[in-house]
Structure 1
Amino acid sequence: MVGCRLSRVLMDGGSGLDIIFTNTLEKMKISPSSLRTSNVGFHGVVPGHPVRPLGRIELEGVFRDGRIYRIKAIQFEVAPFQSSYHVISGRLAYVKFMVIPSYAYLHLKMPSPNGTITVRGRG
């Protein structure tokens, strides 16, 4: 996110939502009053139980590789529980940034006006 470095991001190409957790918003000093209403529910995060988000928030996401970067606004559903991840980015973020994942090498590649951005994961 712009102004914050999130080191624990799960890029989940199987997820249809972009999720941010309440503890991440607290660390970013973003007030719950900034949330907008969300009608989306999601399944599969808490086994056997549907989850209703606290709301929705739009934040600018940044991918950077050295001096090459790309910024896009991402709509996150705010999950009402904590996680070891800061955010889970799904297909919506993949499409917005035109990400090509390599699961075998834990890399994401995406175009930018100044070249290709490669984000390397930790395994």
Structure 2
Amino acid sequence: MSAGNVDHLMQLLAQLYPNEEPPVSGHDELYALIDSIKEGDVAWDSFSITYTGESPSDPPVPPWMTQPYEVWFRDPLKVVENQFANPDFNGKIDYAPKRVFRNNKRQYTDLLSGNHAWRQAVWIPAHC
């Protein structure tokens, strides 16, 4: 996220929740926090992709259709395994979707408090 967008988001959070401090003061603090995270031992990997669909019959062909793009990533399974093995996360990971309410108003606080996670959950009846 751009520095300006981070700062704007923190200002919005401060206005929405005037009795609470935003999670970070701004982009400098967020970027420093990200940089302080230990990298772990999951190696970076990459591959190159190019567009293979139809090209327009009238020149010029847009450059994005002809140039290769390099995609960098880390193995998501290994990243999650490292997170679960990290004692810093002990007791701080939600494993199930949740609905959080404050003053009878729905609160969206993280990924698992969102509608998508709630809709994706497979609910097993209590009597099973």
Shorter-chain TM band = under 0.3
TM-score, normalised relative to structure 2 = 0.19
Please say which structure displays the higher CA radius of gyration: 2
TM-score (normalised: structure 1): 0.20
